Amino acid sequence: MQCALRLEKSVNQSLLDLHQLASEKSDAHLCHFLQSHCLNHQVEFIKELGDHITTLHKMGTPEVGMAEYLFDKLTLGDSDKKN
């Protein structure tokens, strides 16, 4: 999950760089699109991943194998039922 967080932060930084370039080139449409459809969602997802990582650490993972199983079942839900 920490790798996913690093990847999301990298994607977010790339989007911020693109937004900066669009701003410098006075491309208001691209700036608006990035803000409304990409950047806000990225920030929310990064926070959610960070919260999950904090919860896992509080539960004692990776030292406690059962903690990760319980986290998956209680927090992420049972994905098998969705398929």
Which pTM was predicted?
0.73
Q: Which two tokens stand for residue 47?
A: 């926070």
Q: Is 48 annotated as a binding residue?
A: no
Q: List the domain boundaries for the chain.
A: 2-82
Average pLDDT (3-10) is 95
Measure Cα distances from 23 to 29, 31, 52, 58 in Å: 10, 6, 34, 41
In 3D space, the residue among 59, 60, 45 whose CA is nearest the CA of residue 4 turns out to be: 45
Architecture of domain 2-82: Up-down Bundle (1.20)
Per-residue pLDDT of 33-82, as tens digits, reads 999 999 999 999 999 999 988 888 887 766 666 777 777 777 767 555 55
Angle between helices 2-24 and 40-59 (to 10 degrees): 160
